[in-house]
C-alpha cells in the first residue's frame, strides 16, 4: 500500500511537471492586451449572405427561445422575398444553444469562425449573453440580442434590441408611483437579472418614497414558492414586483392564488410574463400587470402586418410577444444598418449604426450608436380575459437607452 | 479467456498493449489533431479532453474500484472555479476586484478569493483542494461501508448541493452565470490562436499523463487490490486489508483528475458555470465512461471524447431534434454492449475461429 501511494504521488508530480514543461515551451507571450482578431472570413462575394441564428431548441429555455427562432426565420423570409440585404439573399445557419452557457460560447465561436456568418442573432438568458460576449469580442463579430435584460453592459460587438432597465424597470416604478403605491414586495429568481433589477428598484423606491416590505429569491429551476408567498400574505403589500423568470412563475402564481391573494389585494407587476406565458400559468391571471415595450395589442400598421404574417406562417393560435418582436426588429435593423453602411464589415456597420431606425411593430425604434441599445417606449399592460394585455400606461414617447443609469442621480452602483 | 488458453501475444498485450494504446492516442491528440483541425475544432477537442481527464478518474474509481461516482461534477467544479478565479483576478489586475463583483455586489471581494491572485497557489489548490475534500468525504463515507446505490445517491446529492450553493452565492461566485471572460491565461493572450493551441496541448498532455498514471496503477499491487476489493470486498477484508483505505486512494485520485480536467475546461471553454458541474453534467461524464467501457484503460477517455464530439456534431446537424438521437444512442449502447465500446474488439476477437486466432498470433 505505502509503495503504491508513493508511486501515485510520484506519477501525479510527473504529470504536473509535464504540464509545466508544455506550458513553458508552447505559445507566444504577448504584452499587447488587445484582441489579436483574425481577419474576417465572411464571404460577401456571392448572391447570399450567411447569418447565424443561435437559440436554445433543447433544454429548459427551448419553450421561450423557439418563439424567437420562429420570428427570426419569418423576418429572414420577408427580407428575402423583398430582395434580401444589399441584394443578397439571407442564408440562415441555425444552431442550438441547448440552454447551456458553455454551449452558447462554443456555438457562437463555430458560427463566427467556422461558418463565417456576417452576424449572429439570439441568446436569451443573461448567462448565455455573458458567455458569448468574450467570444464575439475576441473574433470581432456581431451579435444581436433580443431580450430585455439587467443593463450595466455595452459591448462594441453586441446590439441590444430588448429593453435595458431604464426602459422597463424604471417605467414600471413610475407607473406604481402614479398609482399611489406605498408598499412593495420583491419576488425574483435567484440570478443576475432579478438581483440587479431589485437593486435598482430598491434605490429608486427610496427616491419615490415607496417602502420595500420584503425581498425573496428562489432558484430558477424551483417551483416551490409557498413559504415566500406566506410572507407576502403577512406583509400585505400594495403591489408585488415579480422578476421571476421561466416556469418557476407557475409555482409562484399557484401559491399566490391558493393563499388567497389576488389582483384586488396585492396585484402583481411582472417583467417576464408575456402573451406566451399568461395562458400557461394554470390560474386565471386576469387583472394582473406586466411591463414591456411591446404587446400584441399595440395598434400600429407595422404590428398588424407582423401579427398577420406570423400567424399565417405558424398558425392563427400563436400569440406574439416582446422578445419575438425585438428579434424580428433586430434583423430589420441589421438590414437597415448594412444598407446604410453599404458593407457587411463589422467596423463599417458600427460606424454607420448611429441613428438607424425601423418602423417596428412596437413603434419606430432608433439605434444609439454610442451604447448599441435602441430607444423604446415603456408600456404597462393589464391582462384581460383573453390573456391579452390592455395598455393602461405608457411613457411619454420612446425612452433613450441608458444601460449604466448615468442620467439617474439616485443610482449608486456600489451600494448594496 | 482463461489464463491457460492465453496466447503469448495476449499476455504481452496485457502489460504493454495499454502503453501502446496510450502512445497512439498521444500521437493522435498531440501531433495529428493540431495539424489537421481548425482552431475552432481543436478548441472543441480540448474541451472533450478535459471531460476525458475526469473520465479517466471515473474509470479508476468506478471501473476498477466499483464505486459509482455520480458526483464528479463537484471536483470538476473545484478545479474549474479555482482556475477561473485566478483568471478573473488576472484580468482585473493587481489590487482590483473582478468585474462581476462590482456589477452584482457592492464591489468588495471576499477574503478567500485573495490567495487565488497567485498562480502558484492556484495550481497547488487545483490538486490539493479536491484531494482534501475527497479525503474527508471519502473517509466518512467509505469507513461507514456505504456502497452501491447508496454511495451513488450520496455523490449525486453532493453535486446537487454544490450547484445550488454556487447559484445562491451570486456575489462570490457569479451565481447562475458562473465565471467567464478570461482574456489571458498566466499572461498568455487567449485571443491569440497560437496560445489557444498551447492550452489545448496542455489539456491533451494532461490527459495522456493521467492515462499513464492509471496504466501504472493497474499494473501495481494496489491495482490488483482495488479490483479484488471491487469483486469481493469481504475476502479482501478477511485477508487483512482495509478495503476502505484502498477505495479511498482511488476516490481521491479520481477527484484530483476531475479537478485537473475542470481547471483546463475553464480557459478552453471560456466559461465555468453551475450547469457545467451540476448533477446532469456529472451524469454525462458517467455516460461517457459507460459508453467507452468503464473497466478498460482507454475506454473512459475515448467514451468521454465520443460523447463530447457526438453532442457537437449531432446538434450542428440537427439543431432541433439532436437530443432525442443522443438519448437513443445511450439506450442502444447500454442495452446491447453493457461493457462499453472497448469491449467490442476482444469480443470480436473471441468470436473469430480458434485456428485463425493462433495463426494470427504466431505470425505476429
Could you please report the per-residue DSSP string of B70-90? TTHHHHHHHHHHHHHHHHHHH
Which of A9-23, B36-50, B94-108 is the most confident on average?
Answer: B36-50
Which range (A221-230, A356-365, B191-200, B313-322) has the least confidence? B313-322
pLDDT of residue B347: 80
Q: Does residue A226 sit in the same domain as residue A319?
A: no
Residue B289 C-alpha cell reads as: 465512461
CA distance A22 to A27: 9
Please judge whether A29 and B197 are an interchain contact, meaning their C-beta atoms are less than 8 angstroms apart: no
Considering the domain architecture, whether residues A208 and A334 belong to the same structural domain is answered as no
DSSP strand pairing (B179-180 vs B271-272): antiparallel
In this prediction, residue A361 has a pLDDT band, given cuts at 50, 70 and 90, of very high
Same domain, yes or no, for A217 and A104? no
Scanning A50-109 for CB atoms below 8 A from B yields 57-58, 94-96, 98-103, 105-107, 109
> Which three cell numbers mark A226?
409557498
Is B17 an interface residue toward A (CB < 8 Å)? Answer: no
A13 touches chain B (CB under 8 A): no
**A273 and A216 together in one domain:** yes
pLDDT in tens, B66-80: 999 999 999 999 999
**Residue B176 to residue A127, Cβ atoms within 8 A:** yes
- Say whether both A151 and A264 belong to one domain: no
Q: What is the pLDDT of residue A181?
A: 96
CA-wise closest residue to A188 among B170, B151, B309, B203: B170
- In this structure, are A106 and A138 located in the same domain? yes
Q: Is residue A406 part of a domain?
A: no
Q: A29 falls in which pLDDT band (50, 70, 90)?
A: very low
A288 plus A336 within the same structural domain: no
Q: How many CB atoms lie within 10 A of CB B361?
A: 12
Q: What pLDDT, in 10s, does the model give residues B230-279?
A: 999 999 999 999 999 999 999 999 999 999 999 999 999 999 999 999 99
What proportion of chain B, given as a percentage, has pLDDT over 70? 93
Residue A364, phi-psi category: left (phi > 0), alpha (psi -120 to 50), beta (remainder): beta
Q: Do A3 and B221 touch (CB under 8 A)?
A: yes
Beta bridge partners of A144: A121, A159
Beta bridge partners of residue A122, listed in sequence order: A54
Residue A169 has pLDDT above 70, yes or no: yes
**d(C-alpha A198, C-alpha A187), whole Å:** 9
What would the grid cell of residue A275 be? 402573451
Distance from the B118 Cα atom to the nearest Cα atom in chain A, whole angstroms: 16
Q: What is the CATH number of the domain that holds A174?
A: 3.40.50.2300
CA distance B72 to B251: 10
Q: Which residues pair with A94 in a beta bridge?
A: A53
Q: Which among B39, B182, B269 has the least Cβ separation from residue A113?
A: B39
The reply to whether A33 falls in a domain is no
3 state DSSP class of B257: helix
Average pLDDT of the segment spanning B299-315? 91
Q: Is A202 a domain residue? A: yes
pLDDT greater than 70 at residue B9: no
Question: Does residue A136 sit within a domain?
Answer: yes
Question: A245 and A388 in one domain?
Answer: yes
pLDDT of residue A416: 67
The mean predicted confidence, pLDDT, of chain A is 90
Has residue A21 got a pLDDT over 50? no
The nearest CA of chain A is from the CA of B23 a distance in Å of 15
Indicate whether A149 and A55 sit together in one domain: yes
Per-residue pLDDT tens over the stretch A73-129: 999 999 999 999 999 999 999 999 988 899 999 999 999 999 999 999 999 988 899
DSSP label at residue A197: H
Establish if A185 belongs to a structural domain: yes
Cell of B124: 497547488
For the segment A321-333, what is each residue's pLDDT rounded down to a tens digit? Answer: 999 999 999 999 9
> Are A244 and A315 in a shared domain?
no
Residue pLDDT, tens place only, A204-227: 999 999 999 999 999 877 889 999
Q: Which runs of consecutive H residues, i.e. helices, occur in A315-409?
A: 322-341, 346-352
pLDDT tens for B105-132 read: 778 899 999 999 999 999 999 999 999 9
Range with the poorest average pLDDT among A10-14, A283-287, A384-388, B202-206: A10-14
The number of folded domains in chain A is 2
B195 to chain A: which residues are within 8 Å by CB? 26-28, 30
- Residue B357 pLDDT greater than 70, yes or no: no
Q: Does B43 touch chain A (CB under 8 A)?
A: yes
The residue among B227, B275, B276, B308 with the most chain A CBs within 10 A of its CB, best to mutate, is: B275
Q: CB-based contacts of A56: which residues, under 8 Å, 6+ apart?
A: A62, A65, A66, A96, A97, A98, A99, A124, A128
A3 touches B: beta carbon within 8 Å: yes
Q: Which of A143, A111, A109, A115 is nearest to A129 (CA)?
A: A143
**Is the pLDDT confidence value at B95 over 90?**
no
- Mean pLDDT within B153-160: 93
- What is the spatial distance between Cα B166 and Cα B76, in angstroms, rounded to a whole number? 13
Average pLDDT for A276-283 = 89
Q: State the CB neighbour count (10 A cutoff) for residue B331.
A: 10
Asked whether residue A268 is assigned to any structural domain, the reply reads yes
Within a 10 A sphere around the Cβ of B11, how many other Cβ atoms? 12
Which residues in chain A touch residue B190, judged by CB atoms under 8 angstroms apart?
Answer: 138
Q: Which residues pair with A360 in a beta bridge?
A: A363
pLDDT grade, residue B11 (50/70/90)? low
Q: Please state the length of chain B.
A: 364
Q: What is the pLDDT of residue B364?
A: 39
Chain B residues whose CB is inside 8 A of the A96 CB are 315, 319-320, 322
Statement: residue A5 has pLDDT above 70: no
pLDDT at A163: 97
Please answer yes or no on whether A127 and B177 come within 8 Å at the CB atom.
yes
Task: Give the whole-angstrom CA distance, residue B250 versus residue B79.
Answer: 18
Residue A383 has pLDDT above 70, yes or no: yes
Whether residue A407 is contained in a domain is answered as no
Mean of the pLDDT values across residues B295-304?
93
Partner residue facing A22 (CB), from B107, B177, B205: B205
Neighbours of A349 (CB within 10 A): 20
Considering only CB atoms, which chain B residues are within 8 Å of A23? 186, 198, 202
* A247 and A387 part of one domain: yes
Owning domain of residue A347: 48-163+300-376
Q: What percent of chain A has pLDDT over 90?
A: 78
Residue A177 pLDDT exceeds 80: yes
CA-CA distances (angstroms) from residue B117 to B86, B91, B183, B303? Answer: 6, 10, 15, 35
Q: What is the pLDDT of residue A19?
A: 45
Express each pLDDT in A385-396 by its tens digit.
Answer: 999 999 999 999
Shared domain for A193 and A286, answered yes or no, is yes
Whether the CB of A1 is below 8 Å from some CB of chain B: the reply is yes
- The answer to whether residue A69 is domain-embedded is yes
- Domain extents for chain B? 20-322
Amino acid at each position: 500500500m505505502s509503495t503504491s501511494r508513493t508511486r501515485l504521488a510520484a506519477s501525479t508530480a510527473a504529470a504536473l511537471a509535464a504540464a509545466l514543461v508544455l506550458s513553458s515551451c508552447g505559445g507566444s507571450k504577448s504584452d499587447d492586451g488587445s484582441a489579436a482578431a483574425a481577419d474576417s472570413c465572411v464571404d460577401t462575394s456571392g448572391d447570399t449572405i450567411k447569418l447565424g441564428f443561435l437559440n436554445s431548441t433543447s433544454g429548459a429555455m427551448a419553450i421561450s427561445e423557439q418563439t424567437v427562432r420562429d420570428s427570426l426565420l419569418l423576418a429572414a423570409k420577408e427580407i428575402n422575398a423583398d430582395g434580401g440585404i444589399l441584394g443578397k439573399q439571407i442564408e440562415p445557419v441555425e444552431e442550438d444553444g441547448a440552454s447551456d452557457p458553455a454551449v452558447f460560447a462554443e456555438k457562437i465561436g463555430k458560427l463566427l469562425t467556422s461558418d463565417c456568418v456576417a452576424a449572429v442573432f439570439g441568446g436569451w438568458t443573461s448567462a448565455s449573453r455573458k458567455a458569448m460576449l468574450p467570444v464575439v469580442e475576441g473574433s470581432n463579430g456581431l451579435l444581436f440580442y433580443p431580450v430585455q435584460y439587467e443593463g450595466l453592459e455595452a459591448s462594441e460587438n453586441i446590439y441590444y434590441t430588448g429593453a435595458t432597465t431604464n426602459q422597463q424597470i424604471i417605467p414600471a416604478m413610475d407607473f406604481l408611483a402614479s398609482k399611489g403605491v406605498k408598499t412593495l414586495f420583491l419576488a425574483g429568481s435567484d440570478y443576475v437579472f432579478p438581483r440587479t433589477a431589485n437593486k435598482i428598484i430598491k434605490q429608486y423606491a427610496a427616491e419615490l418614497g415607496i417602502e420595500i416590505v420584503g425581498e425573496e429569491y428562489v432558484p430558477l429551476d424551483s417551483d416551490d414558492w409557498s413559504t415566500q408567498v406566506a410572507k407576502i400574505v403577512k406583509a400585505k403589500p400594495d403591489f408585488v414586483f415579480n422578476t421571476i423568470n421561466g416556469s418557476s412563475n407557475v409555482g409562484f402564481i399557484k401559491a399566490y392564488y391558493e393563499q388567497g391573494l389576488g389582483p384586488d389585494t396585492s396585484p402583481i407587476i411582472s417583467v417576464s410574463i408575456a402573451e406566451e406565458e399568461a395562458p400557461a400559468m394554470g390560474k386565471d391571471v386576469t387583472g394582473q400587470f406586466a411591463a414591456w415595450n411591446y404587446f400584441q395589442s399595440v395598434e400600429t400598421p407595422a404590428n398588424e402586418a407582423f401579427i398577420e404574417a406570423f400567424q399565417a406562417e405558424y398558425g392563427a393560435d400563436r400569440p406574439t410577444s416582446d422578445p419575438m418582436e425585438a428579434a424580428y426588429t433586430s434583423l430589420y435593423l441589421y438590414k437597415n444598418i448594412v444598407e446604410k453602411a453599404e458593407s457587411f464589415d463589422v467596423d463599417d456597420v458600427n460606424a454607420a449604426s448611429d441613428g438607424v431606425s425601423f418602423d417596428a411593430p412596437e413603434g419606430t425604434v432608433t439605434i444609439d450608436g454610442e451604447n448599441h441599445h435602441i430607444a423604446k417606449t415603456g408600456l404597462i399592460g393589464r391582462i384581460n380575459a383573453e390573456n391579452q394585455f390592455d395598455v393602461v400606461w405608457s411613457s411619454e414617447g420612446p425612452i433613450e437607452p441608458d444601460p449604466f443609469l448615468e442620467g439617474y442621480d439616485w443610482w449608486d452602483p456600489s451600494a448594496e | 479467456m482463461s489464463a491457460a488458453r492465453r496466447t503469448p501475444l495476449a499476455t504481452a498485450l496485457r502489460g504493454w498493449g495499454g502503453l501502446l494504446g496510450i502512445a497512439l492516442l498521444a500521437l493522435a491528440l498531440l501531433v495529428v489533431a493540431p495539424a489537421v483541425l481548425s482552431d475552432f475544432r481543436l478548441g472543441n477537442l480540448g474541451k472533450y479532453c478535459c471531460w476525458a481527464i475526469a473520465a479517466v478518474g471515473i474509470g479508476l474509481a468506478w471501473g476498477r474500484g466499483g464505486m459509482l461516482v455520480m458526483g464528479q461534477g463537484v471536483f470538476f467544479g473545484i478545479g474549474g472555479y479555482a482556475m477561473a478565479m485566478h483568471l478573473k483576478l488576472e484580468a482585473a489586475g493587481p489590487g482590483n476586484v473582478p468585474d462581476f463583483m462590482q456589477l452584482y455586489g457592492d464591489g468588495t471581494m471576499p477574503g478567500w478569493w485573495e490567495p487565488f491572485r497567485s498562480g502558484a497557489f492556484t495550481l497547488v489548490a487545483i490538486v490539493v483542494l479536491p484531494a482534501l475534500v475527497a479525503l474527508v468525504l471519502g473517509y466518512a463515507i467509505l469507513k461507514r461501508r456505504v456502497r452501491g446505490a447508496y454511495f451513488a445517491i450520496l455523490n449525486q446529492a453532493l453535486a446537487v448541493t454544490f450547484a445550488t450553493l454556487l447559484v445562491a452565492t451570486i456575489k462570490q461566485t457569479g451565481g447562475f452565470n458562473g465565471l467567464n471572460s478570461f482574456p489571458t491565461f498566466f499572461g498568455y493572450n487567449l485571443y491569440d490562436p497560437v496560445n489557444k493551441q498551447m492550452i489545448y496541448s496542455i489539456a491533451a498532455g494532461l490527459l495522456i499523463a493521467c492515462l499513464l498514471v492509471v496504466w501504472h496503477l493497474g499494473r501495481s499491487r494496489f491495482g490488483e487490490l482495488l479490483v479484488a476489493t471491487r469483486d469481493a470486498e469481504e475476502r479482501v477484508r478477511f485477508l487483512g486489508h482495509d478495503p476502505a483505505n484502498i477505495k479511498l486512494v482511488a476516490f481521491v485520485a479520481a477527484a484530483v483528475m476531475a479537478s485537473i480536467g475542470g481547471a483546463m475546461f475553464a480557459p478552453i471553454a471560456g466559461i465555468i458555470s453551475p450547469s457545467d458541474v451540476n448533477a446532469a453534467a456529472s451524469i454525462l461524464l458517467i455516460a461517457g465512461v459507460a459508453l467507452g467501457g468503464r473497466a478498460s484503460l482507454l475506454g473512459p477517455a475515448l467514451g468521454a471524447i465520443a460523447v463530447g464530439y457526438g453532442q457537437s456534431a449531432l446538434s450542428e446537424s440537427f439543431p432541433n431534434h439532436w437530443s432525442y438521437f443522443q438519448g437513443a444512442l445511450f439506450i442502444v449502447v447500454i442495452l446491447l454492449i453493457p461493457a462499453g465500446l472497448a469491449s467490442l474488439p476482444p469480443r470480436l476477437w473471441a468470436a473469430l475461429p480458434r485456428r485463425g486466432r493462433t495463426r494470427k498470433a504466431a505470425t505476429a
